[in-house]
Structure 1
Amino acid sequence: MELFTNLGIDWRLLIAQLVNFTILLAVLYKFLYKPVLKLLHDRSQKIEQGIKNAENVEVRLKEVAALYETKTREARAEAAKILEATKKEADTMKAELAVQAQKEAEKIVSSGRARLTVEKEKIMHEAEHELADLVAQATEHVLGSVLTPEMDRKLIDEAVKKVRMGRA
């Protein structure tokens, strides 16, 4: 202790200052250092959590983008399939309508031909009767007398036969 006295240091004051410094250090540690350390730790955790969230968001964004691309491709493929099916259906309907129109046209032509044949036969029959009457009148006029029904029939048949042969 004499050493302290020789140096001009009061050892009681030194001990009091050491006690005061220790108390101040304990108070600062408890009320300043711990809260600042806790604040730094909390801030560090928030930053780490923010980084993790950003990484998760980035991963999720990539997943959503990939899902969007997949769904877009699927939708385009589905649209192409529907378009192709619609084209095939339209082609089928077109072909069916063409066949149906062809059948209808053939039916109309056939019906027209049948009517034409009937009309032709009717006209030919009328012409044969008229020709028979004309032959009978001409024969009567040439011979000056009326033919017997047998002769009349024979002449008419021959005339009709010649007309038919000429037509064929």
Structure 2
Amino acid sequence: MSINATLIAQLIVFLILVWFTMKFVWPPITKALDERAQKIADGLSAADKAKADLASANKRVEEQLAAARTDAAQRLADAERLAQQMIEEAKGRASDEGAKIIAAAKAEAEQEAVKAREALRDQVAALAVKGAEQILRKEVNASVHADLLNRLKTEL
């Protein structure tokens, strides 16, 4: 009978232990496990959200980089076109300035030629008068023969 009483006593102690564990020990353990599972689930969802945000941010960055590259290429093309235009304008201005300088030089040369012709005419007229004086052996008065001298100048 002592085996039965020991068995019953052990059964009662076991049932009390099961009841005590179910009442006081098991709920905090399950609560801790549930909280841990919830934290893990939250962490996984946050990681998924972060991964999606990262993919979205990478896509936006790529779009912005593409836009920046396009903008930079456009600005570079505009700058090259503007530089070419400025070069063409400078060539045009230089050509115009060269034409003006050439025209001024031609006009100055023409004036110098006219002055040289006038000086040559005066010298030829003076030589002609001197030659006539020597031929006639008398002095020719320039004021008296002004018309004759002017006609001689124009003929030369």
Judge same fold: TM > 0.5, yes or no: yes
Task: Give, in angstroms, the shift of residue 131 of structure 1.
Answer: 0.6
Give the number of equivalent residue pairs.
152
From the superposition, tell whether residues 19 and 114 of structure 1 become closer, same or farther in structure 2 (CA, over 3 Å): same
The yes-or-no answer on 1:23 pairing with 2:47 is: no
Give the greater-gyration-radius structure (CA): 1
Structure showing greater relative contact order (alpha-carbon pairs closer than 8 Å, 6 or more residues apart): 2
Write the distance in 2 (CA, Å) between the matches of 1:151 and 1:30: 152
Task: Give, in angstroms, the shift of residue 18 of structure 1.
Answer: 5.5
How do residues 43-82 of structure 1 correspond to structure 2 at under 5 angstroms? 43-82=36-75
Deviations 1:130-168 (A, max 9, x none): 1111112212222334568559817x635752x4xxxxx
Residue identity in the other structure for 1:56? K
User: Structure 2 unaligned runs (5+)?
Assistant: none
Instruction: Give the equivalent residue in structure 1 for 2:105.
Output: 112
User: Structure 1 unaligned runs (5+)?
Assistant: 164-168
Task: Give, in angstroms, the shift of residue 21 of structure 1.
Answer: 3.9
Q: Tell me if the contact between 1:136 and 1:152 (Cα under 8 Å) persists in the aligned partners.
A: no
Q: Tell me if the contact between 1:132 and 1:159 (Cα under 8 Å) persists in the aligned partners.
A: yes
Task: Give, in angstroms, the shift of residue 19 of structure 1.
Answer: 5.0
CA RMSD of aligned residues (A): 2.7
Instruction: Give the equivalent residue in structure 1 for 2:94.
Output: 101
Identity of counterpart residues, as a percentage?
Answer: 26
Instruction: Give the equivalent residue in structure 1 for 2:148.
Output: 153
